[in-house]
Amino acid sequence: MKLRMPEGWTRKEKQNVLELQSKDGAARVAISAPGPAADADELHSQVIAGLRTSYDDLDVAKNIDKAPVGGLQGQATVISGTTPGKKGEAQRILVTTAEVKMRAYLVVAFTTDQTSQSVLEAQALVNNLRFTK
């Protein structure tokens, strides 16, 4: 995988998931290769189902077949929702899955609903990500 991380972002790896976060916390991106290529569609559905249980007012805004991710052709879903609790924060979430050879890739980007430098950096990060074959 080739990744250009924006300046000031943090990078952690937990349980085979690469977690990237902007300095101001307005954007987070999680990247993983959690299963075989044959499971990519099921993986996509499971992530969305998990988000439905974790967010209030979850709304699927758009499904995109043949969406580019990491230099591959994949499936993308654009979602909006509110974090649970008294201080619920509006979030936009992009769930993308792609497959190559024997591996399914998953990229999930979480951003605040406001346009900021961090949100633009997250978009650029996802757009410039490349999975190596």
By the 8 A CB rule, do 115 and 123 touch? Answer: no
* Domain assignment present for 3: no
Q: How many domains does the chain contain in total?
A: 1
* Domain assignment present for 2: no
* Domain assignment present for 82: yes
* Domain assignment present for 71: yes
Domain that holds residue 101: 10-128
pTM of the model: 0.92
By the 8 A CB rule, do 124 and 6 touch? Answer: yes
CB contact burial 19-36 (16+ within 10 A = b; e otherwise): bbbbeeebbbbbbbbbbe
CATH of the domain at 34: 3.40.1000.10
* Domain assignment present for 4: no
* Domain assignment present for 29: yes
Write the pLDDT tens digit of every residue in 24-63: 999 999 999 999 999 999 999 999 999 999 998 999 999 9
Residue 133 has pLDDT above 70, yes or no: no
The reported pLDDT for the residue numbered 1 is 85
Write the pLDDT tens digit of every residue in 67-113: 989 989 999 999 999 988 878 889 999 999 999 888 999 999 999 87
* Domain assignment present for 58: yes
* Domain assignment present for 21: yes
